[in-house]
Amino acid sequence: MDKVRIGVIGVGWVAQVIHLPILMKLPEASVVAVCDKDKARVKLVGEKFGITNQYTDVDQMLAQNGLDAVVVCTSTDAHQEATLAALRAGKDVLVEKPIARTYQEALAMATAARESKRKLMVGMNHRFRPDTMILKSFIEGKELGKIYYTRVGWLKKFNLDKAWLVQKDKSGGGAFIDLGIVMLDMALWMMGYPEVVRLAANHYHQRTKEVEDTSVVHLTLNSGAVVNIEVSWSMCLADDLYYCYIHGSNGSASLSPLTINKELHGNLVNLAPSKLDSPHQLFRRSYENEHKHFLGAVKNLHPVISTGDEAVQRMRIVDAVYRSAKRGKEVALAK
C-alpha cells in the first residue's frame, strides 16, 4: 500500500482546523472523500481542500471503492454509529476522543473491531506530544523510581465555542469527559496502566446547567499510588493552564514545560532536553505523530497505540467518575 486512502466523517471545527490540513500534507495519506450531514458545509469543505467526493450519507461514502480507512470527527453522539458502519464495511477507524458517551457504547465499538478484525484507534493525541513521549521513556527506564503520586490538570478560561458540548445527550457529560478523559488517559499511560481500585469525584456547575463545567477527581490505584485530576471550562484565569506532575521514589517530573529532576551526587539535576518545542508546536506535532502512527498501523507496520479496548477501560473509569459525583461519595471499581 503506497498511500492510505482516507475518508473523513464529520467536517466541523476539529476536522477543518486540525485533521484535514495535516492529512493533506502527509505523503502516506490521500484524503479521497468527506462526509457530513450538513450538505452546504461538506460542499464548502470539499471545495476548500480539493476533495471532489462529497457525501451526506455515511453508508454511501463507505461503499466507495478503494477506501482503506476513515477518521471520525463528528460530535460524540455520532461516534458509535459512524464507527460501527465503517468497521462493518471493512475499514480501519481513527475516532476522535472520547470514543463514546458511555462505557456500553465504547464496548460495542471495541467488540465490533475485534469481530471484524479491523483496527480501531482512539485519538488520544496527547500521547504523541514529543514532550510526553520523552517523559514516558524516562519513566519506563525507571529514572524516577516507583511512581507514587501524579497530579494532572487542564483548566480553561470560559469559552464554550462548541454548543453541543453542553448538551448531555450529544456529549455524554461535561468538562470531565471532554478534558478529564485526556488527562486520565495520559496519567495512566505514563504510569504503565495501573488498576484503579476506587475514586471520588466532585462536579461543579458554575456556568452550565446540564453538564459539569468543573471536575475534581481523586483516584487510588492498586499499587497504593494516587492520581489527582482537575479540569474546568470556566476558571477565572488570564490564560489556560495545562500541567502534569509525576513524583517517584527517585525523582520528579512535569510537563508544560518538561522537567525531569533527579538527585545526582547530592545535586538536583534537570535531565530534560534544553531545547523544547513551543506549546503550539507540541499541539500540532501531537496530531501529526498521531496520524502517522495510524497510517503505519493501517499499513501493518506496527500495532495500534490507544486501542478501542484501552478506551473501554478508560470509559469504565469515566462512568464511575459520574456515579461518584452524582452520589457524593467514593465508589469502588469492581474487578
pLDDT, tens digit, for every residue of 276-293? 888 889 999 999 999 999
The C-alpha atoms of residue 149 and residue 248 are separated, in whole angstroms, by 7
Assigned CATH class of 4-126+288-313: alpha beta
Dihedral sign for Cα 206, 208, 209, 212, please: negative
- For 127-278+328-332, CATH number out of 3.10.580.10, 3.30.360.10, 3.20.20.10, 3.40.50.80 equals 3.30.360.10
pLDDT surpassing 70 at residue 60: yes
Tens digit of each residue's pLDDT (9 = 90 or more) over 197-248: 999 999 999 989 999 999 999 999 999 999 999 999 998 888 999 999 999 9
**What helix, strand, coil percent values describe the chain, rounded to 5?**
40, 25, 30
Q: Scan for cell 461543579, then name that residue.
A: 204
Higher pLDDT, 268 or 74: 74
Which cell goes with 263?
538527585
Assign 161 a pLDDT band (cuts: 50, 70, 90).
Answer: low
Rounded Cα distance between 70 and 32, Å, is 10
Inter-residue contact 131 to 277 (CB < 8 Å): yes
**HSE value, Cβ hemisphere, 13 Å, CA-based, for 45:** 31
Give residue limits of the domains in the chain: 4-126+288-313, 127-278+328-332
* Burial class (CB within 10 angstroms; exposed 0-12, middle 13-18, buried 19+) of 13: exposed
The overall pTM is greater than 0.85:
yes
Give the mean pLDDT of 5-30: 97
**Each residue's pLDDT tens digit, 78-108:** 999 999 999 999 999 999 999 999 999 999 9
Work out the angle between the directed axes of helices 103-116 and 79-88 (0-180°, nearest 10): 10
* pLDDT at 133 > cutoff 70: yes
